Structure 1
Amino acid sequence: MIPRDPTKPSTPTRPDSVRAAVPSGTTGWSGPVWGWLLVALPILFFFGLWSYYAVNVPKWDDHALRAFLYYLSQETTLTGKIYQIFRQHNEHRIVYDRIVTYLDYQLFGKLNYRHLMMIGNLSLLGLAGVFAAVLRRSGRAVWLLAPVVFFLFNLSQWENMYWGMAALQNFTVVFWVLWAIYLLTYTDRWLVALPLAIIATITSGNGLLVWPVAIVLLLVQRKFRPVAIWAMGAFVVIGLYFLGYEKPAGNPPDRGSVTDLLKGWFAFNGAAAEVFPLGSGFFSSLVAGGLLTIVALVVVAIIVRRALPLLTKSSASQTTPATSSPLRSIDLFFLGAAGFLIGTGAIVAWSRVGFGMEMLITSRYKMYSLTLLALVYTYGVITLGGRFRQPLGLIGLVAGLGLAWLSYVAFLDETIWWRHWLLTTQQFNATYSTNKPVPQLDPVTKQYQDTAPAFYDDHLSRLYSEPDQQKLSVTVKEEVRGVPVYMVTEPTLPVSDLRDGRAYVMFRSPQRVYLFPVTQNLNSGLMARLLPSRVFTNGFTATLYQGDLAVGTYQILILTIDAQGQWALHPTDQTVQLKTKAADGFKKNW
Structure 2
Amino acid sequence: MRLLFNTSSARGQSVAGLLIALPIAIWLWALLRYAVDVVYNDDYALLTFIARWHNPAVSWSDRFADLVALHNTHRIIYDRLVSLASYYLTGQINFVLMIWLGNLALGGICWQLWRGFRQLGLPAWYFLPIPCWLFSMQSHENMFWSMAALQNFTVIWFVQEALHQVHKRAPLGWPLLLSIGAALTSGNGVLAFLIGAILLVSQQRRDRTLWVWLSYTVVALILLLVIFPAAHERTPLLGWVPNLFVVLGSAFTNETTTTIPLAGGALLTTAIGITALFRVTRFGAVGRRLRQLPGLPEWLAFGLFVIATALLLAMHRLPDELLRDRYKLYAHLMLSLVYLVGLAVAGPRLKVGWALTGTLLAVVMNAIAFHACLPKIIGGFQQRQADAFNFRTNATTLAIPYLRSYTDSLLTSTQQQHIYTLPNPIKPPAAWSVTPSTDSLLISSFQDDFIHNSFLGEHPCYIEIDNQTVAHTLATGTDKGMYITISDKQQHTYLFPASPGKGSIRDFVTGQGLFKPGFAVSFLSSRLKPGLYQVKLLRITPNGYQQLGAGQPLDIQSVY
Pick the TM interval, shorter chain: 0.7 to 0.9
Equivalent AA in structure 1 for residue 412 of structure 2? D
CA distance in 2, matches of 1:90, 1:246: 11
- Once the two structures are superposed, the pairs formed by residues 341-420 of structure 1 within 5 Å of their partners are 341-353=306-318, 356-357=319-320, 359-420=321-382
1:394 shift after superposition:
2.2
- Once the two structures are superposed, the pairs formed by residues 161-310 of structure 1 within 5 Å of their partners are 161-224=143-206, 225-242=208-225, 245=228, 247=230, 255-256=235-236, 258=238, 260-275=239-254, 281-306=257-282
More moved, 481-490 vs 293-302: 481-490
Say how many residue pairs are matched: 518
CA distance in 2, matches of 1:51, 1:340: 31
1:267 shift after superposition:
1.6
The runs of 5 or more residues in structure 1 that have no matched partner are 1-28, 308-324, 583-590
CA distance in 2, matches of 1:163, 1:540: 24
**Is the 8 Å Cα contact of residues 472 and 516 (structure 2) preserved in structure 1?**
no
1:127 shift after superposition:
0.8
SS in 1 for 2:394: coil
**Is the 8 Å Cα contact of residues 94 and 420 (structure 2) preserved in structure 1?**
yes
* CA RMSD after TM alignment: 3.1
CA distance in 2, matches of 1:577, 1:547: 8
CA distance in 2, matches of 1:363, 1:471: 34
Q: Deviations over 1:61-115 (max 9, x none)?
A: 1111111111122365543332222111111111111111111121112222111
CA distance in 1, matches of 2:150, 2:170: 28
Equivalent AA in structure 2 for residue 461 of structure 1? A
CA distance in 2, matches of 1:305, 1:90: 42
Instruction: Pick one of 125, 134, 137 that aligns with 1:143.
Output: 125
Matched with 1:520 is: 500
Matched with 1:322 is: none
Residue 74 (structure 1) aligned with residue 55 (structure 2): yes
Equivalent AA in structure 1 for residue 305 of structure 2? F
**Is the 8 Å Cα contact of residues 474 and 573 (structure 1) preserved in structure 2?**
no
SS in 1 for 2:518: strand
1:136 shift after superposition:
2.1
- Once the two structures are superposed, the pairs formed by residues 29-48 of structure 1 within 5 Å of their partners are 32-48=13-29
Per chain length, whose mean CA-contact separation is higher, i.e. which structure has more relative contact order (CA < 8 Å, sep 6+)? Answer: 1
TM score, norm. by length of structure 2: 0.84
1:175 shift after superposition:
0.8
**Is the 8 Å Cα contact of residues 506 and 559 (structure 1) preserved in structure 2?**
yes
The runs of 5 or more residues in structure 2 that have no matched partner are 1-9, 284-289, 397-407, 452-459
Per the alignment, do residues 382 and 547 of structure 1 end up closer, same or farther by CA in structure 2, a change over 3 Å counting? farther
CA distance in 1, matches of 2:395, 2:13: 61
More moved, 562-571 vs 142-151: 562-571
**Is the 8 Å Cα contact of residues 496 and 561 (structure 1) preserved in structure 2?**
no
1:554 shift after superposition:
3.3
Instruction: Pick one of 473, 495, 517 that aligns with 2:471.
Output: 495
Q: Deviations over 1:473-531 (max 9, x none)?
A: 4131132354524232333332242344564222322353321112434444x414646
SS in 1 for 2:379: helix
Per the alignment, do residues 531 and 487 of structure 1 end up closer, same or farther by CA in structure 2, a change over 3 Å counting? farther
1:421 shift after superposition:
0.9
Equivalent AA in structure 2 for residue 80 of structure 1? D
CA distance in 2, matches of 1:536, 1:74: 47
Instruction: Pick one of 388, 395, 398 that aligns with 1:427.
Output: 388
SS in 1 for 2:343: helix
SS in 2 for 1:188: coil
Instruction: Pick one of 298, 302, 314 that aligns with 1:333.
Output: 298
Instruction: Pick one of 541, 549, 559 that aligns with 2:538.
Output: 559
Instruction: Pick one of 92, 96, 99 that aligns with 1:114.
Output: 96
SS in 2 for 1:388: helix
CA distance in 1, matches of 2:497, 2:17: 40
SS in 1 for 2:70: coil
Equivalent AA in structure 1 for residue 388 of structure 2? Q
**Is the 8 Å Cα contact of residues 389 and 424 (structure 2) preserved in structure 1?**
no
Matched with 1:64 is: 45
Matched with 2:7 is: none
Equivalent AA in structure 1 for residue 329 of structure 2? M
CA distance in 1, matches of 2:553, 2:450: 22
Matched with 1:585 is: none
Per the alignment, do residues 538 and 529 of structure 1 end up closer, same or farther by CA in structure 2, a change over 3 Å counting? closer
SS in 2 for 1:361: coil
Residue 99 (structure 1) aligned with residue 81 (structure 2): yes
**Is the 8 Å Cα contact of residues 439 and 470 (structure 2) preserved in structure 1?**
no
SS in 2 for 1:56: coil
CA distance in 2, matches of 1:576, 1:467: 24
**Is the 8 Å Cα contact of residues 409 and 531 (structure 1) preserved in structure 2?**
no
TM score, norm. by length of structure 1: 0.80
Matched with 1:84 is: 66
CA distance in 1, matches of 2:271, 2:330: 15
Matched with 2:528 is: 549
**Is the 8 Å Cα contact of residues 134 and 330 (structure 1) preserved in structure 2?**
yes
1:256 shift after superposition:
4.3
SS in 1 for 2:322: helix
1:550 shift after superposition:
3.7
CA distance in 2, matches of 1:500, 1:234: 53
